[in-house]
């Protein structure tokens, strides 16, 4: 194929892909393939300048920067629309249209309206001459706009050539906007470059379109929707007579149009459309601020006429404002079920998004600093649909001299326990997990679950009632409940109450690992609890341990081992192998809180008899040095006999007929130990279907990978009973 033919074919193919992606929202090729075609076309055009064409997709990447925008006078003014804000306004619009038609001698019995979305973007005009894009302009003041032809040419959603017969001059009007997902990616890129983020998609779209350098616009993810007609000369009968059919015709020509639209016969139909769009608004991929109603019969528009600078044949039915200004009166702190402290803005009441807002989320301390919020500030509040209201930004120019910063509290506002912010995390947390009222229900459910204290029958419905009626304040109070008290709960009969009392009583002899897991210490899952139980031997060692010293000793041992490993020397034992400093810091914070220690003492005092792990001798107190385990650093837990003795195995992925917990129990029963992460000390990685990063890490480190059948073969000659 010769070069001109190949160039033409590439142009047509790329434009088909552009149309599928930007207009139909149905990509036909991967991005890499699109990029390959685009680069091929660029290279061919560079080698054959005689084939240059203003319609080429490569022209969308931008031309020479402009020193300023020229002025464009609109042949047909781009008028604003009058607004409707409630049902009465819409019914009044319908009544006035019908009155105007009858006054002109037109029977309103055939009246129909076209209802469509009101896009929240930047209105533009596209002029096509002989079907080719010739000029683009902003709305401006309605009479004169700015010439942004080069920038609009860079918007891939706008066809440079229309498909099908059209008038010699055809002016299409529509909206340039930005999708939510594209806006988020753009702001992520802005932040990564250290540049200022955009406030919202509309501002981002407007700023992108008004760049003096079209190359900048070409790299911004702009979209376009056509919604109206300006100049058309000569009108040779190809333009449909109804507005709804006009939009269909635009789509045939290759212009993007909004898919959500309807033809309605009266005000009731218009209001039904408005409510349906309102319900779906939050799920739309772009912003809208209302809907637009237009008389569908275009030849009736002149008869209905205009008022001031707005047509009487159309109206914009606006949604309640989603943003409003108000004053930040103060900041309160809420404590969640998991102990997270969340700052909440206390606002001067303001009507926004259809409701009166008095509070809004501030997310975390970093958000307060990032948004530069001070108590006393005038702030922008946003509420969209059912989304929780949020403070978007402050207006520093309105900041009063009395404005002051808010600082997160050092203690939990609910229970008075210490509040800490772990290194590397955004959230502050209350460490009084066993005592804090805000965390009570979550703590009880965790305490009672099957793999913790295994209290069958203590489900969410029962826990909520126990907490609401203040019958249980800490897990220790569960062991003082009687059948009569439980039987008084909703949907709890005498038999169920007796069964629950028996289940609670049957949980009084947990293993140390189960008990430690049940305490709900942050980052202490089942596997970490088993490691702790093997080394600590009893609960009081956990409470007596010097965790600050342990963290320092662990770091020192690891550093020394790194030096010894490089010299192929014998390694030192490392305290609490498998328990990292982050977990140890979490345990330190938990055990340092007096409320938690008090609850643990109450649990031990009400008959909880914690059993040492198998193979670990019972310990009656902390070692003399306050550190857990053997003073030489060896684990006190003797390995179970079995074919997997001395092997550390990581389980990842989905196994066949065996849950991950069951696989881990199987490994332990045959003498192996289970780790949660892959390291050079891992013996094997047991990988099932859809294994992820742990499998990749094993490959990187050269750790042997086995499947379920291989594991079973490894233990099949073991004499232990499975």
Residues assigned a catalytic role: 118
Give the rounded distance of the alpha carbon of 356 from its chain centre.
Answer: 26
Q: Of 296, 428, 309, 317, which is closest to residue 362 (Cα–Cα)?
A: 428
Per the listing, tokens 């009973």 go with: 721
- Kindly report the backbone phi and psi dihedral angles of residue 333, in degrees, each rounded to the nearest multiple of 5, phi listed first: -120, 125
Per the listing, tokens 């550190």 go with: 627
Q: What Cα–Cα distance (Å) separates residue 114 from each residue in 170, 242, 292, 294?
A: 21, 9, 8, 5
Q: Of 461, 439, 708, which is closest to residue 590 (Cα–Cα)?
A: 439
Q: What Cα–Cα distance (Å) separates residue 164 from each residue in 152, 211, 292, 491?
A: 21, 32, 28, 70
Per the listing, tokens 């099932």 go with: 688
Q: What Cα–Cα distance (Å) separates residue 477 from each residue in 319, 364, 604, 667, 677?
A: 52, 33, 12, 36, 37
- Cis bond leading into 234, ω under 30°? yes
Task: Report the C-alpha gap between 119 and 261 in whole angstroms.
Answer: 12
Task: Report the C-alpha gap between 226 and 23 in whole angstroms.
Answer: 11
DSSP state of 19: I
Continuous segment of H or E residues that includes residue 382: strand 378-382
> In which order are the strands placed within the sheet that holds 314-318?
82-84, 314-318, 288-295, 113-119, 261-264
Look at strands 223-233 and 169-177 and give their pairing.
antiparallel
CB 572 within 8 A of CB 546: no
CB 248 within 8 A of CB 200: no
């Amino acid at each position: 194929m010769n070069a001109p033919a190949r160039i033409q074919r590439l142009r047509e193919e790329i434009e088909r892909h552009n149309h599928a992606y930007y207009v139909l929202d149905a990509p036909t090729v991967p991005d890499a393939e699109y990029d390959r075609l685009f680069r091929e076309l660029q290279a061919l055009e560079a080698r054959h300048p005689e084939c240059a064409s203003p319609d080429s997709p490569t022209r969308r990447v931008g031309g020479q920067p402009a020193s300023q925008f020229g002025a464009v006078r609109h042949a047909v003014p781009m008028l604003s629309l009058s607004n409707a804000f409630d049902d009465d306004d819409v019914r009044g619009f319908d009544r006035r249209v019908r009155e105007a038609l009858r006054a002109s001698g037109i029977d309103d019995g055939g009246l129909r309206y076209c209802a469509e979305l009101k896009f929240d973007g930047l209105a533009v005009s596209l002029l096509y001459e002989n079907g080719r894009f010739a000029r683009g302009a902003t709305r401006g003041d309605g009479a004169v706009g700015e010439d942004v032809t080069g920038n609009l040419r860079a918007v891939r959603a706008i066809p440079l050539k229309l498909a099908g017969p059209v008038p010699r001059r055809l002016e299409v009007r529509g909206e340039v906007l930005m999708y939510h997902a594209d806006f988020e990616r753009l702001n992520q890129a802005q932040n990564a470059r250290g540049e200022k983020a955009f406030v919202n998609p509309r501002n981002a779209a407007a700023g992108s379109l008004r760049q003096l350098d079209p190359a900048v616009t070409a790299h911004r993810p702009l979209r376009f929707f056509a919604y109206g007609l300006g100049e058309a000369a000569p009108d040779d009968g190809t333009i449909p007579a109804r507005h709804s059919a006009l939009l269909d015709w635009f789509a045939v020509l290759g212009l993007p149009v909004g898919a959500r639209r309807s033809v309605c016969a009266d005000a009731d139909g218009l209001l039904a459309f408005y409510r349906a769009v309102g319900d779906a608004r939050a799920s739309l991929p772009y912003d809208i601020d209302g809907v637009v109603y237009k008389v569908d019969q275009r030849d009736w528009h002149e008869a209905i006429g205009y008022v001031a600078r707005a047509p009487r044949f159309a109206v914009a039915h606006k949604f309640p404002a989603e943003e409003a200004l108000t004053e930040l009166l103060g900041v309160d702190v809420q404590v969640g079920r998991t102990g997270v402290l969340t700052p909440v803005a206390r606002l001067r009441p303001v009507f926004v998004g259809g409701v009166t807002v008095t509070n809004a989320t501030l997310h975390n301390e970093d958000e307060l600093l990032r948004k530069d919020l001070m108590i006393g500030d005038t702030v922008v509040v946003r509420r969209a649909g059912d989304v929780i209201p949020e403070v978007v930004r402050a207006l520093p120019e309105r900041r009063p001299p009395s404005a002051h910063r808010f600082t997160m509290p050092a203690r939990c506002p609910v229970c008075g326990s210490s509040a800490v912010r772990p290194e590397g995390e955004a959230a502050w947390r209350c460490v009084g997990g066993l005592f804090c009222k805000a965390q009570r229900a979550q703590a009880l459910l965790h305490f009672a679950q099957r793999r913790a204290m295994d209290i069958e029958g203590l489900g969410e419905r029962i826990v909520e009632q126990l907490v609401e009626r203040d019958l249980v304040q800490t897990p220790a109070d569960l062991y003082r409940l009687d059948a009569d008290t439980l039987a008084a709960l909703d949907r709890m009969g005498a038999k169920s109450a007796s069964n629950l009392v028996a289940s609670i009583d049957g949980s009084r002899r947990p293993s140390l690992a189960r008990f430690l897991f049940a305490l709900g210490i942050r980052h202490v899952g089942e596997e970490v609890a088993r490691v702790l139980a093997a080394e600590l031997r009893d609960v009081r060692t956990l409470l007596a341990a010097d965790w600050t010293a342990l963290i320092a000793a662990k770091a020192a041992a690891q550093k020394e081992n790194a030096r010894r490993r490089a010299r192929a020397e014998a390694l030192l034992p490392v305290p609490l192998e498998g328990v990292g400093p982050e977990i140890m810091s979490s345990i330190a914070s938990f055990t340092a809180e007096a409320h938690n220690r008090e609850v643990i003492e109450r649990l031990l005092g009400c008959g909880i008899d914690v059993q040492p792990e198998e193979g670990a001798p019972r310990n009656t107190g902390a070692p003399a040095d306050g550190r857990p385990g053997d003073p030489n650093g060896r684990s006190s837990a003797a390995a179970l006999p079995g074919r997997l003795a001395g092997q550390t195995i990581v389980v990842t992925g989905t196994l066949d007929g065996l849950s991950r917990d069951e696989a881990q129990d199987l490994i332990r029963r045959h003498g192996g130990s289970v780790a949660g992460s892959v390291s050079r000390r891992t013996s094997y990685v047991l990988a099932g279907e859809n294994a992820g990063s742990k499998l990749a890490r094993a490959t990187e480190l050269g750790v042997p990978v086995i499947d379920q059948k291989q594991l079973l073969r490894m233990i099949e000659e073991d004499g232990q009973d499975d």
